[in-house]
Structure 1
Amino acid sequence: MPGIFVTGTHSNVGKTSFVTSLIQALREKGIDAVAYKPVQCGATEAETSPDADRYREVYDPELGDVLCTYLFKPKVSPHLAASMEDRLIEPERILRDYEFLEKMHDLVIVEGSGGLAVPLIDEHYGIPELMNDLGLPGLLVADAGVGTLNQTTMTVAYAKQKNVDLRGIVLNRYPDFPSVGVRHNPEMLERTTGLPIVGKVPETEDPDLSLYRSVYSEFLETLK
């Protein structure tokens, strides 16, 4: 199965919750899916990756699985966190860890750091360059509410500038009772970005996993 790179319009848009629920939904249907966070900034007090800890709620890693390659304590952009700790992010190491997971599992879902324009090394190498090096189709997580037309359209335009293979958009935190504006956003986003809305998922502690399986099915349709 083709891997997926999940990126976002900005930090705290809900990528980790989305990825965790998607992994759970697919594993319940017998797909050996795993999540992978190449770079995490803002380690927990126990010096673990907060996002990888979320993944472990629905997946018990097998021997050799690396769910997070680079973990930094400072909660800042990856390029700055690495500099503050006098370390270097090496894309080759990320590629090796991804390739191992890809060989061992049916599907690897990679979660980016922050939004799409986040630098990993410097202004020349960031999330777009990593996505292209991995050769993965992208899924963009955007907020369903106010401001998404601007944020999402600008993010997709930047992705096109960087030759990133974005295939679809997920509107996260979609309300149970959307306003007129929120209901109109999906149609307008498809027009402004040229990408399909492959899913609308609410923010809840008890996710409807069938919605996430539907997102995956819609995403696969874009690859045909």
Structure 2
Amino acid sequence: MPVLVITGTGTEVGKTVATAAVAASALAAGLSVAVLKAAQTGVREDERGDAAEVARLAGDVTAAEVARYPEPLAPATAARRAGRAPVHPQDVADAAAKLATEHDLVLVEGAGGLLVRFDAAGGTLADAARLLSAPVLIVATAGLGTLNATELTARELRTRRLEPLGVVIGSWPADPDLASRCNLADLPECSGTPLLGALPERAAALGPATFRAAAPDWLAPRLHGTWDAEAFRVREAPPGRV
């Protein structure tokens, strides 16, 4: 798995922090890691982007962006409004493939959800994943509404003959409600993919050293961690359901 594409079920689901956790766990396992942001929007040239945030949290990774646009919009819209060239899926694939010649693992982080448009032709992160023949990790929210968005994302991946590697919950609440607890069993069932991790809420607020030490505890062995999905589900299950 030299390239792993990471998408969210929408915006603000914890995708960047999940990417940082995967990077930190891979680094702890002795791998060299690069993080590529396909299209960074809503950030000025002098501001820290998502790839830089991953590097801050995870440590010694190569951080790169394909393109950056100042307004917090879908990449195609942000590029058009900025009068700049859009990102095309081939651009993302080419950049990732080059990084893969120099690193053990390349993490390609999307912008928002899987089908957010990069260009006027309708190119998406899914198209970049297809060009790379790369599996896709889905980052989802914990609570009410996540089942529909996660299943739609997994179905779209399979429709495009892409491999959904699994689901990571981007922010697990300190005091989870009933829906969140039930979703631990329902997310794998509705998506047809394993649950591969759950990051605690406010993980990004941890100091980098603490984040790096803890990251493997949040992710399953498939992502170079030690997290046990079944043990977590049993511990967090609502009364009357195990």
**Higher mean Cα deviation, 144-153 or 200-209?**
200-209
How far apart are residue 77 of structure 1 and its match?
Answer: 0.4
Asked whether the equivalents of residues 90 and 128 of structure 2 are also in contact (C-alpha less than 8 Å), the reply is no
Matched, 1:28 2:28: yes
Asked whether the equivalents of residues 66 and 97 of structure 1 are also in contact (C-alpha less than 8 Å), the reply is no
Q: Which amino acid counterpart does residue 71 of structure 1 have in structure 2?
A: R
Report the equivalent of 2:235.
Answer: none
**Higher mean Cα deviation, 34-43 or 6-15?**
34-43
Partners of 1:67 and 1:45 lie apart in 2 by: 13
Report the equivalent of 2:187.
Answer: 189
Partners of 2:67 and 2:44 lie apart in 1 by: 14
Asked whether the equivalents of residues 3 and 107 of structure 1 are also in contact (C-alpha less than 8 Å), the reply is yes
Q: Which amino acid counterpart does residue 192 of structure 2 have in structure 1?
A: G
State the number of aligned residues: 214
How far apart are residue 179 of structure 1 and its match?
Answer: 2.8
Report the equivalent of 1:214.
Answer: 220
How far apart are residue 201 of structure 1 and its match?
Answer: 1.9
How far apart are residue 3 of structure 1 and its match?
Answer: 1.7
How far apart are residue 95 of structure 1 and its match?
Answer: 2.5
Cα distance change of structure 1 residues 166 and 122 upon mapping to structure 2, 3 Å threshold: farther
Partners of 2:29 and 2:192 lie apart in 1 by: 31
Report the equivalent of 2:130.
Answer: 132
How far apart are residue 60 of structure 1 and its match?
Answer: 4.7
Report the equivalent of 2:172.
Answer: 174
Report the equivalent of 1:107.
Answer: 105
After superposition, the C-alpha distances for 1:68-106 in whole angstroms (9 at most, x for unaligned) are: 011111211011112122323233332232122101111
Report the equivalent of 2:49.
Answer: 50
Q: Which amino acid counterpart does residue 128 of structure 2 have in structure 1?
A: L
**Higher mean Cα deviation, 113-122 or 25-34?**
25-34
After superposition, the C-alpha distances for 1:84-140 in whole angstroms (9 at most, x for unaligned) are: 223232333322321221011111111011011211113632121111112110000
Taking only the aligned residue pairs, the percentage that are identical comes to: 27
Partners of 1:178 and 1:89 lie apart in 2 by: 38
Q: Give TM-score, length-normalised by structure 2.
A: 0.79
Partners of 2:52 and 2:124 lie apart in 1 by: 24
Asked whether the equivalents of residues 49 and 68 of structure 1 are also in contact (C-alpha less than 8 Å), the reply is no
Cα distance change of structure 1 residues 172 and 213 upon mapping to structure 2, 3 Å threshold: closer
What stretches of structure 1 of length at least 5 have no aligned partner? Answer: 219-224
How far apart are residue 59 of structure 1 and its match?
Answer: 3.8
Partners of 1:199 and 1:182 lie apart in 2 by: 14
**Higher mean Cα deviation, 199-208 or 129-138?**
199-208
RMSD: 2.2
Partners of 1:60 and 1:217 lie apart in 2 by: 16
Report the equivalent of 1:199.
Answer: 197
